[in-house]
Amino acid sequence: MRSVRVFFEKKGDIKYISHLDLNRFMLKIIRMSKIPVWYSEGFNPHPYITFALPLSLGFESDYEIMDIRLDDDSFKNEEVYNSLKPLFPEGLKLFSCEDPVMKAGQVAYADYKIEFDSVPDCYMSGLEQLLNNDAIIAKKKTKKGTYKDIDLKEFVKSFSVNDNTLLITLSAGGSNNLNPKLILDTFSQRNEIETPYYKVTRTMLYNENMEKFK
């Protein structure tokens, strides 16, 4: 038994497919591909797959990662690639299948590119100002449905603003994750404005040393 790490992008209309739906869809593709996946034991055997970091509904991504557990160790990465490649639909472009270098739980940061359709310059400069604060206290919904105060700034590793685009590196992963949407929502709330239409692309994942997640 071994794992193979699958790298792909999620672009276009498929961004409206949620993480859970994509997960179910991948299981179907894997069945179709007939690659020798390992099936969980038990009453309802199913292949075992893990995503490095779930992607929010509506976000695009240049760098998606899914691990598949194989039953047959002699089955090569290249064969996995060749089996999956023709099955990946439009919007999910398969890049490569590799041996995992880092452990799936080691994702610590993610890059996001946030592009606004058309916003006044003052919007972008205001956003920049907000991010330059030493602390950005905001309310975050907890899993229990209550709200608690958190400092968004603690999650911001770095950022830059150019024209209509915000590039931002945020803490990511199981324990310390921030959705960039919360920053934009906080900005809108503070200024009592409606958030303009924007597109989010997650462009890269890193480990805690800011090394590209592989």
Partner 1 sequence: MFKEFEKHLLNVQKPGRYVGGELNSVVKDKNDVDVRFAFCFPDTYEIGMSHLGMKILYSQFNARNDIWCERVFAPWIDAEKVMVENNIPLYALESHDPIKDFDFVGFTLQYELSYSNVLNMLKLAGIPLKTSDRKNWDTPVVVAGGPCACNPEPLADFIDIFFLGEGEEVDLEVIDLYKESRKNGISKAEFLKLAAQIEGVYVPSLYTVSYNEDGTVASVNAEDGVPSVIKKRIIKDLNTSFYPEKFVVPYVEIVHDRAVQEIFRGCIRGCRFCQAGYIYRPVREKSADVANKQANSLCETCGYEEVSLNSLSTSDYREIEDLLEQMLKWSEQSNISIALPSLRIDNFPKELLEKVQSVRKSSLTFAPEAGTQRLRDVINKNITEDEIISTCKMAFESGYTAVKLYFMLGLPTETNEDLEGMAKLAQKVVDLYYSNPARKKGKPVNVSISVATFVPKPFTPFEFEPQVTLDEIVKKQEHLLSSVTSKKISVSYHQSNISFLEGVFARGDRRLGAVLEKALEKGVKFDGWDECFKFDEWLNAFEECGIDATFYSSRKREYDEIMPWDHLDYGVTKKFLISENKLAHSEVTTKNCREQCAGCGATCFGEGVCYEKR
List interacting residues with partner 1 (CB under 8 A).
Answer: 12-14, 16-18, 21-22, 24-25, 27-32, 39, 45-46, 57-58, 87, 89-91, 117, 197
Tokens 């998606």 locate to 64
Q: By C-beta, is 20 or 101 nearer to partner 1?
A: 20
Structure tokens at 185: 């929502």
Minimum distance, C-beta of residue 17 to partner 1, in the bound complex (Å): 4
- How would you label 2-28 residue by residue, b for 16+ Cβ within 10 Å and e otherwise? ebbbbbbbbbeebbebeeeebeeebbe
Q: By C-beta, is 31 or 85 nearer to partner 1?
A: 31
Amino acid at 68: I
Q: By C-beta, is 46 or 103 nearer to partner 1?
A: 46
**Alpha-carbon distance 43 to 47, whole Å?**
13
Minimum distance, C-beta of residue 23 to partner 1, in the bound complex (Å): 10
Minimum distance, C-beta of residue 169 to partner 1, in the bound complex (Å): 23
Residues whose CB is less than 8 angstroms from the CB of residue 148 and which lie 6 or more positions away in sequence, other chains included: 139, 140, 142
Minimum distance, C-beta of residue 16 to partner 1, in the bound complex (Å): 4
Q: By C-beta, is 34 or 144 nearer to partner 1?
A: 34
